[in-house]
Amino acid sequence: MKKTALFAALSVLMTWPLANHLASVAPQHQDVYFNMWRLLWFAHALVTSPMDLFNANIFHPEPRTLTFSDAMIVEGLLAAPLVWAGVKPVLLHNLVLLAAMTSSGVAMFTLAQYLTGSRGAGVLAGIVFSYAPYRFEHLAHMELQWAVWTPLTFLALHRVCDTGRLRWGIAVGGFLALQMLSSIYYGVFLATMVAIATPMLLPRDRGAPLRDVVKALSAGAVLAAVVCGLYAIPYMRTQERMGGRPIGEVALYSAMPSNYLAATPDNWLHRGTASRGRPERRLFPGLTPLLLALVGLLLRVPGRRPIVYLLLLAFAFEASLGVRGFIYPLLYDYVPGYRGLRASARLGLFVIAFLGVLAGYGYQSLAQAMTRRGRVLLVAACALAMLVEYRVTPQLVEFPNSAPPVYRLLLSQPRGVVAELPAAHGDALPGPDPLYTYLSTFHWYPLVNGYSGMYPVWYGTRLDRLNDFPETRAIEQLRRDNVRYVIVHGGPELSSSGQPPDGLIELGRFGTGDGRDTLYRVR
């Protein structure tokens, strides 16, 4: 409980002033709308039509639209009781976000403490894993905050090597599956790391008979394969329909070595380095953990496990270079799952995870010859240095917890397909689509608009036609899509007479000027 309280307090501190406005503000990013929509959709689908969970209400009439990005199964299950209890969307989002950072720190603390026998090492490793600039680069990407299962998987792997017990082998598979259900990116990457780490640990690291260890790990592998295989089915169908990520898109999100020298623009101490990276490619791990890791590797003869983590760090670093490196193209060509991923730079999370472990070993090397008072002062100094290096001023803005009046009117109408205008242009996505996606949570009618990690191939053309509204081409497209309602936000009158065009019936108008919302029904 003490370590949970510690990392909960640190999460509040490192994201301050978020905790001061939990119910109204969130990170300034369009993906916050998307996060809230996914959490709310999951809770809605569970009580209305669980079998249609992946057939979310956006991009009508496309099927399986929840698989256009991470479905966030674990996050959805954790948030559902809060949704049903009436917790407002923005507060819900922030609670799930802070829970992710806190639990990640606790999990890494547990792993580092097990490896080193030192609580101080656990504290420092947890700080690196939970609050390095990578975390704040992805503060609005909910699924990329839920990395708690990664250190727990490695903890279970070490325990099964040490004991040979079946329960720890099953735990390896269970934690790996939970990571996949929390974040597909991290699930695929973690499966790769475990596959690499296991043969390096087995020959010399085990403290139990090899047969027992293999049997336990085999049971865990079967569990992970079954869970992840079932989860992959709708995603594979979507990939067959839409294709994988083109290698050119992967190149855009491949890291460069210089990106590991780039912190985020809102970092207090290292903001001047932000120009060395770009969005998704600011991966600076901090100077303090690097120095501690070097201490651990240079001031004593490294043990087996530190060497394994050093090799894993090197692998994750090289693979994060994507098409600029040697490893990732092989993974893309030959390992299932990688063709659906576009951002190899997200392997940066594993770089900071393994660095955190090595920093814990470095602290242990320095602390083992110190008195208790000296150890306390050392861990306090190192923790303070890390927190200063990692401190940011997060950009927070208000997000709505309720819908404008036009949506309440829509909800009173018979169910039907909705289109919202003005829409984004096909060559300038996403435009207002993230907001439209979130606002659909207040009625849950099928929506022609949508926002996700990918788009249907027809979507850009469809939007360009709808943006001709109220011309004939747009009206014909609405009818082909079986659209029943059109919400028009702002803009001039639709005709010189002030009357709706042919084919539309005005149901209500709210506001004035550019703030006007008008609801139409298509004849």
Same domain, 299 and 433: no
Q: Which residues pair with 267 in a beta bridge?
A: 392
Residue 45 within any structural domain of the chain: no
Q: Which of 360, 393, 426 is the last residue of a domain?
A: 393
Q: Which of 337, 371, 393 is the last residue of a domain?
A: 393
pLDDT at 18: 95
Sign of the torsion formed by the C-alpha atoms of 116, 119, 121 and 126: positive
Instruction: Decide if pLDDT at 498 tops 70.
Output: no
Instruction: Decide if pLDDT at 492 tops 60.
Output: no
Q: Among 333, 332, 343, 321, which Cα is nearest to 453's? A: 343
Same domain, 381 and 500: no
Q: Among 9, 8, 37, 12, which Cα is nearest to 22's? A: 12
pLDDT at 470: 84
Residue 32 within any structural domain of the chain: no
Same domain, 310 and 420: no
| Confidence band, pLDDT 50/70/90 cuts, at residue 503 | confident
Residue 198 within any structural domain of the chain: yes
Same domain, 367 and 503: no
* Choice among 113-122, 275-284, 305-314 with the minimum mean pLDDT: 275-284
Q: Provide the residue range defining the domain that includes 357.
A: 2-23+88-393
pLDDT at 114: 96
370 with 328: CB under 8 angstroms?
no
Alpha helices in 138-280 (DSSP H): 142-145, 149-163, 166-182, 184-205, 210-242, 247-252
Question: Could you give the CA distance from residue 514 to residue 499 in angstroms, rounded to a whole number?
Answer: 18
Query: What is the pLDDT averaged over residues 417-421?
Result: 95
Question: Could you give the CA distance from residue 428 to residue 71 in angstroms, rounded to a whole number?
Answer: 25
Same domain, 230 and 295: yes
Tens of pLDDT, residue by residue over 116-165, are 999 999 999 999 999 999 999 999 999 999 999 999 999 999 999 999 99
Q: Which of 358, 393, 428 is the last residue of a domain?
A: 393
196 with 350: CB under 8 angstroms?
no
Same domain, 414 and 491: yes
pLDDT at 69: 94
Same domain, 371 and 440: no
Residue 65 within any structural domain of the chain: no
Tens of pLDDT, residue by residue over 426-477, are 778 899 999 999 999 999 999 999 999 889 988 988 888 888 888 888 889 9
| Confidence band, pLDDT 50/70/90 cuts, at residue 203 | confident
pLDDT at 183: 97
Query: What is the pLDDT averaged over residues 229-242?
Result: 91
Measure the CA angle with vertex 310, ends 210 and 357; round to 5°. Answer: 90
Query: Running DSSP on this structure, what letter comes out for residue 115?
Result: H
Instruction: Decide if pLDDT at 515 tops 90.
Output: no
72 with 452: CB under 8 angstroms?
no
pLDDT at 253: 92
pLDDT at 370: 86
Instruction: Decide if pLDDT at 245 tops 80.
Output: no
Same domain, 339 and 271: yes
Residue 389 within any structural domain of the chain: yes
Please report the DSSP string for 188-206 in residue order.
Answer: HHHHHHHHHHHHHHHHHH-
Residue 472 within any structural domain of the chain: yes
**Which tokens is 368 given?**
């083992």
Measure the CA angle with vertex 189, ends 107 and 385; round to 5°. Answer: 45
Question: Could you give the CA distance from residue 355 to residue 108 in angstroms, rounded to a whole number?
Answer: 11
Residue 74 within any structural domain of the chain: no
CB atoms near residue 124 (< 10 Å): 30
pLDDT at 512: 63
Instruction: Decide if pLDDT at 497 tops 90.
Output: no
Q: Which residues of 506-520 are buried (b: 16+ CB within 10 A; e: fewer)?
A: ebeeeeeeeebbbbb
What's the Rg (C-alpha) of the chain? 25
Residue 500 CA to its chain's centroid (Å): 43
Element (H, E) at 418: strand 417-421
Question: Could you give the CA distance from residue 38 to residue 79 in angstroms, rounded to a whole number?
Answer: 10
Give me the chain's average pLDDT, please.
Answer: 92
Instruction: Decide if pLDDT at 493 tops 60.
Output: no
Same domain, 324 and 286: yes
| Confidence band, pLDDT 50/70/90 cuts, at residue 495 | very low
Instruction: Decide if pLDDT at 496 tops 50.
Output: no
Tens of pLDDT, residue by residue over 394-410, are 999 999 999 999 999 99
Same domain, 200 and 178: yes
* Choice among 105-119, 181-195, 504-518 with the minimum mean pLDDT: 504-518
pLDDT at 281: 92
Residue 61 within any structural domain of the chain: no
Question: Could you give the CA distance from residue 105 to residue 122 in angstroms, rounded to a whole number?
Answer: 9
Tens of pLDDT, residue by residue over 30-63, are 999 999 999 999 999 999 999 999 999 999 999 9
Please report the DSSP string for 460-520 in residue order.
Answer: HHHHHHHTTTTSHHHHHHHHHTTEEEEEEES-S-SSTTSSPPTTEEEEEEESSGGG-EEEE
Give how far Cα 320 sits from Cα of 31, 384, 406, Å: 23, 29, 46
Same domain, 232 and 101: yes
Strands 483-489 and 417-421: parallel
Query: What is the pLDDT averaged over residues 230-247?
Result: 86
Q: Among 238, 220, 355, which Cα is nearest to 289's? A: 355
Query: What is the pLDDT averaged over residues 103-127?
Result: 97
- Number of domains present in the structure of the chain: 2
Same domain, 358 and 421: no
377 with 221: CB under 8 angstroms?
no
pLDDT at 88: 97
Instruction: Decide if pLDDT at 499 tops 70.
Output: no
**Which tokens is 66 given?**
């929840």
- Proportion of the chain above pLDDT 90, given as a percent: 75
